[in-house]
Structure 1
Amino acid sequence: MPQDAPARARLCAAKFVAHNIPLAPGLCTRPGEPLIGESPRTKAIHDALRLFVPGGAGGKTAVDLGCLEGGLTYELWRAGLRVVGVEAREDNLERCLLVRDWFDAAGAMEFVRSDVREFRPGAAFDVVLCSGLLYHLDDPAGYIGELGRLAAPGGLLYLDTHVAPEDADLPECNFRAALSPWKTRLHEGLAIRYREYAEDITKPESSVGNPVSLWMDIASHVELLQRAGFSRVFEMHGWFGAGEMDLKRRFARHYWACIKQA
């Protein structure tokens, strides 16, 4: 799609609700909002690419799971990766395709309409981005195993997710009213600790197909990641400024760079 007046009109009429993607000087998908590249969460992803992708990202492959409107897919593409964005909702996918075509990036930035739990690519990826997704699933323990299959040997998984707050932190957590008391279940012999989270399925960024999702504790995440083949799991800090730990407690959010054993 050439960057002409009709293309500009289609993008402006698309009503992006999540990602503010820069398109051209003075033109973006959500005017008045911070650009997606300015988000500390996005900067942490770029930092992980620099630190944990040997030889740089250029020409390597990536998948953006649950990509919404393609903002982080765009950021991975901008870093030099060949990216597949996976998105279940048709309206989100339409906005993704508008962005791809605006940049004439077919072949380097592709999108697939699929529930991530049903996505079965023909090959593994050098970089797997699972950002804002895992805590929307009703079987996150099982899906971590799938993340291990999606990552190529030596590849990077960047995992950005909510975790279940411990009792001492629950009063500070912004989501406490939607979280259940602690529960446990066995997953392949491992006792998983989790809280159920009541999804607001009216929101465009909620779960797909399950009104209740599971938020696991930190130890369960790390054990499951190691079982899935990620021999090194690094927690990311440093992009959220003063009060970062208080902020993470309030939002019960953690960021991990995980390296698949070669």
Structure 2
Amino acid sequence: MRKFTAHNIRLDDGSFTRKEKGIDMSQHPVMLICKRVIEEHYPNQTYIGRRIVDIGCLEGGYTVELARMGLDAVGIEVRQSNFDNCIYVKSKVDLSNLTFVHDDAWNIEKYGRFDIVFCCGLLYHMENPKRYLNILSKICDELLVIDTHFSVVETKEKFNLSDLEIHEGLKGRFFQEYSDPNKTQNENAKWAAWENHRSFWPLYNDLMDAISDVGFSKVYEVESPTRGIHNQRATIIALKD
């Protein structure tokens, strides 16, 4: 068994990748929210066969559960150790509609268009989040699900963020991913950005406006346990006409 650091995935033989975590990925709060939103947007299982991408998929746990729903699921992961875990999981589940690719999230346009885009725990690792939202808008035909941190106006924050600044036309704060800007592509820093030494967290309203500005006609937050735990984290749904 390979060592997993994050995702507790149920394999077809009944074993789990991180059994000590208790609940498996099918019961993860963000997965349950995503499943509910997809089922509401595509009633009567009309989501089956639609294309979805899980960007920065880590060890593939969400991607597997999305494939088990019947979606044509693609997981993109840049870190080799995480990708190796994804490939291991794929070998242990019988899902012909499950694909993993080893690539940087910024190269997502190479993989065509998707009905649904799932972006969990990635946007707050981007130095230029609005530029990335523009890319997501280009490849997303209908539904975007984002789970991300954001900044607040108050200075007393849980995270070590910069003073308020304007970046990409958005108000927000910078978060330091790496202390040395010349050392960023760290294979072992699984909870840090891949190639930028700092990331930008827009204020909540600026983030919502940015998602709308790039081409989504309806943008709203759904109730999520991550909001209560982190306060500065939200699960956001965006729809195209």
- In the superposition, the TM-score normalised over structure 1's length comes to 0.82
Offset, 1:53: 2.9
Structure 2 counterpart of 1:95, from 73, 85, 95: 85
- Cα-to-partner distance string for 1:20-66 (whole Å, 9 max, x where unaligned): 00114651001210312222122111111112235532111100000
Determine helix, strand or coil for the equivalent of 2:172.
strand
- In structure 2, distance between residues paired with 1:123 and 1:231: 22
- Cα-to-partner distance string for 1:186-221 (whole Å, 9 max, x where unaligned): x3xxx3111000115653121001121111111221
Provide the residue aligned with 2:161 in structure 1: 179
- In structure 2, distance between residues paired with 1:20 and 1:70: 10
Q: Which amino acid aligns with 1:165?
A: V
| 1:40-189 matches, cutoff 5 A | 40-56=29-45, 57-106=47-96, 108-152=97-141, 155-167=142-154, 170-171=155-156, 173-175=157-159, 178-185=160-167, 187=168
**Is contact 1:88–1:114 with CA below 8 Å preserved after alignment?**
yes
Provide the residue aligned with 2:234 in structure 1: 254
Offset, 1:247: 2.9
**Is contact 2:7–2:17 with CA below 8 Å preserved after alignment?**
yes
- In structure 2, distance between residues paired with 1:245 and 1:105: 32
- In structure 2, distance between residues paired with 1:179 and 1:55: 44
**Is contact 2:52–2:114 with CA below 8 Å preserved after alignment?**
yes
| 1:23-34 matches, cutoff 5 A | 23-24=11-12, 26-33=14-21, 34=23
- Cα-to-partner distance string for 1:39-97 (whole Å, 9 max, x where unaligned): 21221111111122355321111000000000010111111100111111111111101
- Asked whether 1:205 is paired with 2:191, we answer yes
| 1:213-232 matches, cutoff 5 A | 213-232=199-218
The share of aligned pairs that are identical, in percent, is 30
Structure 1 counterpart of 2:3, from 15, 19, 23: 15
Closer/same/farther in 2, CA of residues 29 and 122 from structure 1, 3 Å limit: closer
Offset, 1:122: 4.8
Determine helix, strand or coil for the equivalent of 2:175.
strand
**Is contact 1:53–1:156 with CA below 8 Å preserved after alignment?**
no
Offset, 1:132: 0.3
- Cα-to-partner distance string for 1:135-165 (whole Å, 9 max, x where unaligned): 001110100101101101xx11001000012
Provide the residue aligned with 1:9 in structure 2: none
Greater Cα shift, 18-27 or 135-144: 18-27
**Is contact 2:68–2:95 with CA below 8 Å preserved after alignment?**
no
**Is contact 1:87–1:112 with CA below 8 Å preserved after alignment?**
yes
Greater Cα shift, 220-229 or 81-90: 220-229
**Is contact 1:60–1:82 with CA below 8 Å preserved after alignment?**
yes
- Asked whether 1:196 is paired with 2:174, we answer yes
**Is contact 1:83–1:110 with CA below 8 Å preserved after alignment?**
yes
- In structure 2, distance between residues paired with 1:246 and 1:89: 30
Q: Which has the larger radius of gyration?
A: 1
**Is contact 1:68–1:205 with CA below 8 Å preserved after alignment?**
no
**Is contact 2:144–2:238 with CA below 8 Å preserved after alignment?**
yes
Backbone CA RMSD of aligned residues: 1.8
Q: Which amino acid aligns with 2:91?
A: D
Structure 1 outlier segments of 4+, above 4 Å:
none
Closer/same/farther in 2, CA of residues 80 and 26 from structure 1, 3 Å limit: closer
Provide the residue aligned with 2:182 in structure 1: none
